[in-house]
Structure 1
Amino acid sequence: MARGRHEHGSPGGLHGRCPALSPRSPDQDRHRLRRRTAGDDPGSAALKPMPRLLPAGSEVLPILTRLAGFAGVFFALLVVFAALIGDGTASLAVEGTAIFVVALAATVIVLRLDGRRGLEVIGLPWSGFARQLGWGLVLGVAFVVPAVAIAMGVGGLRYGPDAGTWIEYGGTGLWAALVLLVAATGEEILVRGYPLRVLADRWGRGAALVLTSLVFAALHGANPHVGALALTNILLAGFLLGLICLKTGSLWLASGVHMGWNLATGFLADLPVSGLKIVDAPLIEVTRTGSPLVTGGEFGVEAGLAATVAMIIAILVVVRTGFLTPAQAI
């Protein structure tokens, strides 16, 4: 789920199975959280649902005006950032850093205009952030496993040895992890930070999930080798990440999942990530021998039916179980 370079059941069913999508008032949410966390260990770093970003019933600025303002600030800052770094430096690391810095700056500005100062309102508190990122990384890697396993099981992917040393492997992995962490967190702030919160407060969580997922897919629409199935899977990934944000209140956790998926795909599995070759992992060599309909072809596993199955499994795990609740200490 990496953005490309410039050149290049029913709603009722979800409401019934996932408390995060059920229509509740803010007072009910707070009362429910107090009941569930009353017995928590005081020393645990429990995830808490984010407070409302917009005052209940507030019509000071229509929601579209707020979102347009956020987009305007983001693109204005992006133009300034691009002018500062100049041409010829559009590497994935630079682009990911640009998205992160500009999205964060735009968020801080619009939050101040809304009378907010802390980033915890969009799910980025400093307390416990490393633990949440770490668990998200583990989950992201775990979500990739079914996709790669299915592709290997049908003979679509074959792995063998390649040149390199363990030192090179470790260094490449650390570099990939750093680049992908910055890029993933930037995309999460951009799509599921301020926009998700505003949409959820005004139009409800279901609408927020659908709209931000569509935007997330559209952001990948210009990636190399993209197709209809790839965009469908990225839309499902956006739904999964948004669901995680709304259920846990943690954008750190969603960023970790996003990074973990990309790291497992691009480094551990040595496959393209959303049409982009992130790194060439030493020691292992992959050969794509099966149908692109299953393996995703040049776009990577995200463009195959194997990823569709993996995404659906991940969404069902989050929706139909008590997994990742606000009261869960991690």
Structure 2
Amino acid sequence: LLVWLWIRFYERRGIATIGFEPPRALFLYGRGLLLGLASFCAVIGILAPFGFVAVEAGDPAQVGLAALGGVLLVLIPGWLIQGAAEEVLTRGWMLPTLAARYRPWVGVLVSSLFFAVMHGLNPNLSILAMLNLFLYGLFAALYALREESLWGICAFHSIWNWVQGNFFGLEVSGQAVSGGMLFNLMETGPDWLTGGAFGPEGGIATTVVLLVSMAIIWWWPATGRQPVGQPVAADR
């Protein structure tokens, strides 16, 4: 809310200018949801075949179909807003502001570092978890620059957190989630691989998925006016 007020009344521009332009919004948001779902499932796909995740016993009222109502309720007014809020601050406002004032790589680097530092007080944080948070920031920056929009990365961020916490029942950045879960999994392998108490975002499996995702985004055919890492003014 503070970012929106700053943009509207201090910078005197519309909210849409930070990456919420209407054209193709539904398509970009829907694609982001699917890519976020697939990406986190890839993390589980790395761990599960080797037995590094297992089903955990829990309260039957908080797992499966009995928890479906709460799981959906947490997604719609919860994760969809939370994920978008972080993206508005870091990729919607900070990244382009720094890129325009200095250089595009400065906006990407600083916004990614800031995103990692934002989670610096989360419980069970490790060095590898901080690295993965930074890598996620880089990935999100590349994603937003590639699409020249926030719709897709907002959806990706929100569904990633929801799938991790309320679909699979794992910790999200070191924190247990509320609202119930469809499956109740727990990590059973080494912490450096699974993330341990921080959740999968603190393990090498997530590192691999993020690095592969960044490579895909880098080589993804551009849909906007300029390649990744180039300022808007470059095509004028």
Structure 1 residues not aligned, in runs of 5+:
1-100
Instruction: Work out which of the residue numbers 9, 33, 39 in structure 2 matches 1:137.
Output: 33
Instruction: Work out which of the residue numbers 173, 179, 188 in structure 1 matches 2:71.
Output: 173
| CA 1:296–1:105: 2 relative to 1, 3 Å | same
User: How many pairs are equivalent?
Assistant: 222
Deviation at 1:124, TM superposition (A): 1.1
Counterpart-to-counterpart distance in 1, 2:131 and 2:149: 25
Deviation at 1:161, TM superposition (A): 7.3
**Match of 1:111?**
11
Counterpart-to-counterpart distance in 2, 1:282 and 1:320: 35
Matched, 1:285 2:181: no
**Match of 1:258?**
157
Deviation at 1:197, TM superposition (A): 1.1
Deviation at 1:167, TM superposition (A): 4.9
| CA 1:280–1:152: 2 relative to 1, 3 Å | farther
| CA 1:267–1:105: 2 relative to 1, 3 Å | same
**Match of 2:127?**
228
Q: Structure 2 matches for 1:142-157, cutoff 5 A?
A: 142-157=38-53
Deviations for 1:303-323, whole angstroms, at most 9, x for unmatched residues? 00000001001101101232x
Larger Rg: 1
Counting aligned pairs with the same residue, the percent is 29
Matched, 1:320 2:219: yes
Instruction: Work out which of the residue numbers 172, 194, 200 in structure 2 matches 1:301.
Output: 200
**Match of 2:88?**
189
| CA 1:287–1:315: 2 relative to 1, 3 Å | same
> When the two structures are superposed, what TM-score results if normalisation uses the length of structure 1?
0.63
1:119 alignment partner AA: I
> When the two structures are superposed, what TM-score results if normalisation uses the length of structure 2?
0.86
Greater helix fraction, Structure 1 or Structure 2: 2
1:304 alignment partner AA: G
Deviation at 1:243, TM superposition (A): 0.7
Is contact 1:123–1:193 with CA below 8 Å preserved after alignment? yes
**Match of 1:159?**
55
Counterpart-to-counterpart distance in 2, 1:151 and 1:239: 23
Matched, 1:122 2:13: no
Counterpart-to-counterpart distance in 2, 1:107 and 1:158: 46
